[in-house]
Structure 1
Amino acid sequence: MHAIAFFDTEIGRCGIAWSERGVIGLNLPERSEAATRTRLLRHCPTADEIEPPKHIQRAIDDIAALMRGEKKSLRAIQLDMRRVNEFNARVYETTRAIPPGATRTYGEIARAIGDPDGARAVGQALGRNPFPIVVPCHRVVGANDKLVGFSANGGIRTKLKMLKIEGWRENEPSLFEELA
C-alpha cells in the first residue's frame, strides 16, 4: 500500500508519501500544488491521497513544527529506504544526525561515512534525496560554509530560508540580506 498527503508549512505546501514500512518520499513546495503532486507521485505512481495514519500525522506535525522554528528532531520518523542504494542510505543516515541550526560540509559527511574523497558523491546523493527535511540536506554546505547546490524549487534561496528558520547564523544578517 502506498499513500500520499499534503500539508502546509512555513515554506509552503509540502507532500509526503508512505508505505507500510515508513515514509518513501517527501516533497518541498513546487511552484504549485499540482507540480508538488506530480513530483511526489514519482515515488509511488499508484498511491491514493488519504487521511494520514497517526504515525504519519505525527511526522507531518513534527516537520511543520521544525519549519516554524521549533527545535524538533525528526530522527524518530521511520523511512522506507528499500529503493535507496547502500551508499546513499549511509549518506542519509549520517545527514539525519545534523541538528537543527547546525551545518556540516559535504567533505565532513564523506569522511564520516569512511570515504574521505567522496564529497562530490555525497553531493550527488543529497541531490537525489527523496526525504528532504527529514534527511536535512539543506544543512549540508560547501567548504567554508559556502551555500552551494540545492535541487528544490527556489534553489539556494529555499536552502537559506530553511536554515534561517532553524536559527543558523542568526548573528550574521549579511548572509540573509545577500539573497533576500
Structure 2
Amino acid sequence: MSAILHDGVVWWSIFATAVGFGGVVANEAGLVEVDLPFLVPDRDTMARRLAARYPAAGGENPLTRQAAQLLADYFSGRPVRFDVPLAERRFTVFQREVYGLVRQIPRGEVRTYGEIAAALGRPAAARGVGQAMARNPLPIIIPCHRVVGAAGQLTGYSGAGGVDSKRWLLALERSAPAKDDKGIQ
C-alpha cells in the first residue's frame, strides 16, 4: 500500500495516548494515513513500523505535527475539529462522497451503512459504503467507527483492535462533552 502513497516527499509524526502510540503520515497533497495507537505500546515500535513502510520519509512537517496533536487531543477525550487537508486523489469518486458524508457524522453519534448509502442517493449501495469504510486509510479523521450495521450492531472495523476499538472509540466520544465552548466537535 505504501508505494501508492509515495507522491513525492512523505512525512510522519507519532502521537502518544493512554492506549498506546499512533502515527500520522502526509504527502504534499495532505494526510494519507493514520495508524491507530491500539496495540502499540511504545514510541520506538511505532517509529519502526512507520520507518519500514516509509523508508524515505522526510521526518515531520507542520501538517503531521498538527494532525498528531489533534489526534492526541481526541484520544484524551477533548472535542476536536479535524479541519486538515486530505490526500484525496487516490480515492475513487464514490469513496470521496462516502468519506465526505462520514466526516459530517457528529461526535458520539452513529449512522448505518444504509443511511449513508441513502444520503448519497444510492440506497442499494450499503455494501459499497462498507467497502469504502474497510479501505479508509484515515480512521478517526474519517470517523468510520461511527458507521454501524443495519440494526445498530458494531460490525467489522479494519482499524487496529477491530470491533473492540470501535466500541472503545464510541464510548470515549459519548463520555466526553459533545462540543467545547468554541463549538468544536
Could you state the TM-score of these two structures normalised by the residue count of structure 2?
0.79
Contact 2:12 2:50 (8 Å CA) reproduced? no
Offset of 1:131 from its aligned partner?
A: 0.6
Aligned to 1:52: 61
CA 1:34–1:57 in 2, change beyond 3 Å: closer, same or farther?
A: closer
Aligned to 1:79: 86
Aligned to 2:162: 155
Q: How many residues align?
A: 163
Contact 2:117 2:129 (8 Å CA) reproduced? yes
Aligned partner of residue 131 in structure 2, secondary structure: helix
User: What per-residue deviation string (whole Å, max 9, x for no partner) do you get for residues 78-114 of structure 1?
Assistant: 1011111111111111100011111111111111112
Aligned to 2:147: 140
Could you state the TM-score of these two structures normalised by the residue count of structure 1?
0.81
Offset of 1:134 from its aligned partner?
A: 0.2
CA 1:47–1:165 in 2, change beyond 3 Å: closer, same or farther?
A: farther
Aligned partner of residue 121 in structure 2, secondary structure: coil
Contact 1:5 1:49 (8 Å CA) reproduced? no
* 1:88 matched to 2:115: no
Gaps of 5+ in 1: 169-180
* Identity percentage of aligned residues: 39
Alignment RMSD, CA only? Answer: 2.2
Rounded Cα–Cα distance in structure 1 between residues aligned with 2:91 and 2:51: 17
* 1:37 matched to 2:44: no
Aligned partner of residue 71 in structure 1, secondary structure: coil
Paired residue type of 2:146? R
CA 1:2–1:104 in 2, change beyond 3 Å: closer, same or farther?
A: same
Paired residue type of 2:13? A
71, 86, 93: which one aligns with 1:63: 71
Rounded Cα–Cα distance in structure 1 between residues aligned with 2:24 and 2:58: 10
Aligned to 2:33: 25
Offset of 1:9 from its aligned partner?
A: 2.2
Offset of 1:72 from its aligned partner?
A: 1.4
Aligned to 2:19: 11
